[in-house]
Amino acid sequence: MAAITYLEAGRRALAEEMRRDPSVWAVGEDLGRGGVFGQYKSLADEFGPARISDAPISEACIMGASVGAAMSGTRPVVEMRFSDFALCAVDELVNQAAKARYMFGGQTKVPLVVRQPMGMWRSSAAQHSQSLEAWYVHIPGLVVVAPATPADNLGLLKSAIRCDDPVVYLEHKNLWTLEGEVPEDEHLTPLGVAETVREGRDVTLVTWSAQRWACLEAAETLSAEGIEAEVIDLRTLWPWDRDRVLASVEKTGRLLVVQEAVSVAGFGAEIAASVAEALHKRLAAPVKRLGAPRVPVSYAPPLEARVRVTAEAIVAAAREQITPAAA
């Protein structure tokens, strides 16, 4: 095992897959200079401009060309710089990439990975801070992945590149510098398999991406109060590990779904509904969601802080699951 950052793990994953498979290549703005966050640093030196390809400032062009390249037999890794910018290419992704395999009766596939740095990151304001995972989970044909650790950013990106369907790959900007142990040998994390990162008996916290760490912090606070929370990191949002979540909630009788995204119509609602439908007779408390309010993210740090889902907010919501507030 070696300690590396989340950013370095993603860079290593891409390099390993490009060495393994000559059909893998990357395209996006400023990749030759290392990418906006440095996640492609030095890769152009090894693989050259044909495989680490700089593109014009046109997300629609980048995505459209990549869809065609994927259908023609290559495996593009498409860099969108910010998940917000990918909205300029949503037609190519949603109406073309996601549907081509089905509409052509399986005669073609679209094995591309769309890397979309997501989430709130130090006063990036309303146009650079969004968490839009629910948009993509809603679209048949797309796989949606949201790693939270360096090891998963390595293992899930490698699995995503090998997947024969289009993958929306959401890396949280606030995790780039996070360090963690990563296997030095070949490491793959399977798609669709969640991780139980903390065992508990009283309440299940289901989350993904950067909120994994807020949930673990909250679980430690709750443990000091005698409340043992089980924490599940979904890792893959579609397909999501329904069986693991149901088994946990059947044990604890309580579910709190925690997301950074706006709570209204967020992916947490799908998990909540699925659990409520499957286990409604066994729940000790109503299913609860915790997410951001339906407001834009402000540039001003005090206002930005008001919409963050914090460990303190998770603790308060979990306490209410154990001891509901008086009506």
Q: Would you say 186 and 155 are in contact if contact means Cβ atoms under 8 Å apart? A: no
Known catalytic residue at 128: yes
List pLDDT tens digits, range 56-84: 999 999 999 999 999 999 999 999 998 89
Q: Would you say 11 and 182 are in contact if contact means Cβ atoms under 8 Å apart? A: no
What is the structure's pLDDT at 325?
A: 58
Choose the catalytic residue: 128, 172, 187, 280.
128
Please give the model's pTM, rounded to 2 decimal places: 0.94
Q: What is the DSSP string of 80-134?
A: -SSTTGGGGGHIIIIIIIHHHHHHTTTS-----EEE--BS--SS--TTS----HH
Domains and CATH numbers, the chain: 2-182 (3.40.50.970), 195-322 (3.40.50.920)
Average pLDDT over residues 303-314: 92
List pLDDT tens digits, range 29-40: 999 999 989 999
What is the structure's pLDDT at 327?
A: 40
Residues 147 and 154: their CA atoms lie apart, in Å, by 9
List pLDDT tens digits, range 236-245: 999 999 999 9
Average pLDDT over residues 225-253: 98
Q: What is the DSSP string of 307-322?
A: H---HHHHHHHHHHHH
